[in-house]
Amino acid sequence: MLKTSDSPTREFHYIVAHGVLSWLSVQVQQALLNIVSKSIALGGVFYCSYNTYPGWLAMSNFQHMVSLERQRYADSDLGSALSAARTNLISLLGSQESPLALLQSSPRLFDELQSIARFSATYLAHEYACEHWAPLRVADMHKLCTEHKLRFISSATLPEIFDDLVADQLKPTILNETDPIIRQTLLDFATNKYFRRDIFVRGIEVMTPSYATQLLGGLRFRLLEAPRVEAYRFPTCFGEILGHFDGCHSIELALEGGPGFLSDIQTSTGEAMGDLLRALALLVHVNRIGIDRGDAANQARESSQQINQFITTQMQEGQSYSWLVAPNIGTCVSFNLVELICMQALSDGLKGDVLTAFVLMGLSGLGIELTRPTKEPISDASEQRNLIESLVENLASHRIPTLHSLGVFPSNSKD
């Protein structure tokens, strides 16, 4: 139970509430933000992510039907409630060729209802079976935080820091809007935003340009897994952004020898600071480079590796985890079950057909099939073997060394 009357025993520089607030009652939201306001240091950062509109308008119909069906089936039979809500809504849509009224008003609803089948029961229970599920509009959220002395700074999703990445036809409306709340609302409408990751700060501190440049210059970046590409394409809420090839490539070349400070990268590339920051943000966004934490990673490494050990154990038992903690860059990296089983095979010294059989047996034991990138199952034995051999080769030569360098696994662990 959240207690708002107790005085905090310490102040925190960072407080995180990821995927929490829009699933709480109004009273608990107020209590949570009150604790944040009392516990955060002056100048401290509060990160908060939450469901929002207009992106959730269509599926709010599904969530409402789930809540009604749960009353019919009782809380213990969530699967039946989800299935009934989905089946009934789909029956009201018509077809893509001949849409009925509901589908006409919510064109994305058909695809979103069809996609529910690929989500785990754990996610569906969290997302749709919560009594207080209620997406928050950005204006309401920011007003709520302001009342608790928390000031909005920016999105934590790096491309969204740059409003001018919006499509050209949207720029006059959005970029000419001077009211910050209305501007954020227009951006949400323009991108059909369904989930926000916002950063707030307690207090107001004006930073001089020279001091900002000094702090930015001290940021250190490192190259991650960055295979050669013919073009730098960045998926964002604004659509796909085509990056300047020479600028992005020169940044990656500057980091090939190891982590580098932003000031050194600018010297090496000759890029203007504004262009460089934008390119770095986009490259970090798609995990081609990361922000190197240097000595600060040391304190987090052991606990992060313990978390990763727990996650990989859960993956072996069939849980649908696909990310591991990378303490050296302060974020997560993707890691799937096929990679885990292949890594185990390498650790056991398996090769050739024996390795292939080991991987396929491990997947089969969990009821999982080897698939192509298109999610189509692979039944041909030769194609299965070729894919596994390719994965193993990439793991041994690139992936495992990268995971060790990021602190995902202990550097002395057996490969």
Q: From CA 186, how far away is CA 287, in angstroms rounded?
A: 28
Tokens coding 379: 């039944």
Per-residue burial over 207-221, b = 16 or more CB atoms within 10 Å of its CB, e = otherwise: eeeeeeeeebeeebb
Q: From CA 378, how far away is CA 371, in angstroms rounded?
A: 5
Give per-residue pLDDT as tens, 365-407: 888 888 887 778 888 888 888 889 999 999 998 899 999 999 9
Q: From CA 65, how far away is CA 51, in angstroms rounded?
A: 18
Beta strands in 237-337 (DSSP E): 239-242, 260-261, 289-291, 323-326, 331-334
DSSP state of 40: E
Please count the other Cβ atoms lying within 10 Å of the Cβ belonging to residue 346.
17
The answer to whether the beta carbons of residues 339 and 370 sit under 8 Å apart is no
The answer to whether the beta carbons of residues 45 and 14 sit under 8 Å apart is yes
pTM of this structure: 0.86
> Within 255-319, where are the H helices?
262-269, 273-285, 298-316
The per-residue pLDDT for 375 is 76
Residue 46: φ, ψ to 5°: -115, 120
Tokens coding 13: 């520089």
Mean pLDDT of the chain: 91
Closest CA to 287 of 227, 242, 339, 239: 227
Banded pLDDT at 4 (limits 50, 70, 90): low
Give per-residue pLDDT as tens, 91-144: 999 998 999 999 999 999 999 998 887 787 778 888 888 889 999 999 999 999
Map residue 66 onto helix, strand or coil: helix
Please, how many CA atoms are within 13 Å of residue 135, restricted to the half-sphere of its CB? 23
Q: Residue holding tokens 């929002």?
A: 52
Residue 251 host element (H or E): helix 245-254
Q: Count H helices, E strands: the chain?
A: 18, 11
The per-residue pLDDT for 121 is 76
Banded pLDDT at 414 (limits 50, 70, 90): very low
List all residues 6 or more positions away from 266 whose beta carbon is below 8 Å from its beta carbon. 217, 273, 276
DSSP state of 152: E
**What is the topology classification, in CATH, of domain 215-292?**
Arc Repressor Mutant, subunit A (1.10.10)
Residue 152: φ, ψ to 5°: -65, 135
State the average pLDDT over residues 352-376. Answer: 86
Banded pLDDT at 318 (limits 50, 70, 90): confident
- Tell whether the model's pLDDT for residue 167 goes beyond 70: yes
- Domains of the chain, by residue range, sit at 12-54+135-202, 57-128, 215-292, 296-405
Q: From CA 269, how far away is CA 249, in angstroms rounded?
A: 9
Using a pLDDT cut of 90, give the percent of the chain over it. Answer: 69
Closest CA to 199 of 142, 136, 247, 244: 142
Banded pLDDT at 9 (limits 50, 70, 90): low
Q: What CATH architecture is 12-54+135-202?
A: 3-Layer(aba) Sandwich (3.40)
State the average pLDDT over residues 77-83. Answer: 86
Residue 124: φ, ψ to 5°: -60, -40
Tokens coding 380: 């041909």
